[in-house]
Amino acid sequence: MGFEWIKIPYSLLTLFIVVNYGLLLNALIAKIAARVGRRHGIPIWQNYVDMIKNYGLRTSITHGVMFYMGPVFRLSGGVGLLLFVPTIYGSVMFSNLSFAGDLILALYFVFFGTLGMALGAGESGHPYAAIGVSRGLAQVTAAELPFALAVFAVALQYETLSVTEIVAAQQGSYLNWTLFTNPFAVAAAMLSFLGSMMRPPFDVVLAPQEIPIGPPTEYHSSYLALMQTNRAIFPIAKMVVYMNLFFGGAVSWPIFFVKIFLIYMVSVLVGVVFPRFHVEHSVRWFLIWAVPLGVIAVAIV
């Protein structure tokens, strides 16, 4: 099987669209959250300005090799997740580098960035970073369990590990979506989704008011800008996986934008209503409410 080189510029185009959409979407979400608190909120282009500012700082210091690699791992987790999953179903241009077993790779990439961050933040030597990372890993692991169960259920249901084929099986009518054919899996996955979006009630890891900002305590200038770039890519990439697995994928960019926005709004709405959980609370919450749903989903398939 030959490799089609044209896929590389096509994938970069996908990446470009997603980065810009992510930056604007993040600002829009911040604005929505601000409006809930009756504030005006940040300007819609604020994320771009912040990134230029951070790339433009004149000094930066390092704590060692892993300190450099942390944001790089994090970014490659986001980019990798995005590139190995088809963004637009049925489009040659935007099916990216997807292949037969990409579902497993996607699962791996979801976790990859967090691990990279753990290494980087650990090297920074700041106690808050270490506490933040251990909290983050505990919470992400707990949130990952129901998601993994949901993915198993979906893979069993469609008898494939290819995201493209899973999307193909959901075409035709919205009643074919996994949301309706296997609601337990979707419920478990959406609860897990809340936990991995770094929004309240599960944002104690990164919350500035807790141990100051957790893992990125020591990160600044270009390192922080890399991580901000990832903050634009990673949620979108993750939602692309969700959209493909559970909500019928997208056949064009407008549908993609709308679906991603709506999936994001789930976590935003929950976030503006509920206060923050402690990590031990959220771990318990995932194990009590989300994991059984995942087990049921696997059991009834």
276 binds another protein (CB under 8 A): no
As to burial, measured by CB atoms within 10 angstroms (0-12 exposed, 13-18 middle, 19+ buried), residue 38 is: exposed
44 binds another protein (CB under 8 A): no
20 binds another protein (CB under 8 A): no
Buried-exposed string 1-12: b where 16+ CB fall within 10 A, e elsewhere: eeeeeebeebbe
What is d(CA 118, CA 134) in angstroms, rounded to the nearest whole number?
8
Q: Is 80 within 8 Å of 233 (Cβ atoms)?
A: no
Question: Min. distance of Cβ 260 from another protein in angstroms?
Answer: 24
Range 177-236, binding another protein (CB under 8 A): 208-209, 212-213, 216-221, 224
Those residues whose C-beta lies under 8 Å from the C-beta of residue 297, and which sit 6 or more positions away, are 149, 150, 153, 182, 184, 185, 187, 188
Do you find a cis peptide bond into 216, omega within 30 degrees of 0? no
Question: Min. distance of Cβ 222 from another protein in angstroms?
Answer: 10
**Would you call 234 helix, strand, or coil by DSSP?**
helix
Range 74-93, binding another protein (CB under 8 A): none
Q: Which of 16, 39, 141, 176 binds another protein (CB under 8 A)?
A: 39
Nearer to another protein, 8 or 57 (CB): 57
Token couple for 55:
């790339």
127 binds another protein (CB under 8 A): no
Range 135-164, binding another protein (CB under 8 A): none
Number of residues that bind another protein (CB under 8 A): 31
**Which of 30-38, 108-116, 151-159, 176-184 is the region at the interface with another protein (rule: CB under 8 A)?**
30-38
42 binds another protein (CB under 8 A): yes
Q: Indicate left, alpha or beta for 167 from its phi (over 0: left) and psi (-120 to 50: alpha).
A: alpha
36 binds another protein (CB under 8 A): no
Residues within the interface to another protein (CB under 8 A): 34, 37-43, 46, 49-50, 52-53, 56-61, 125, 208-209, 212-213, 216-221, 224
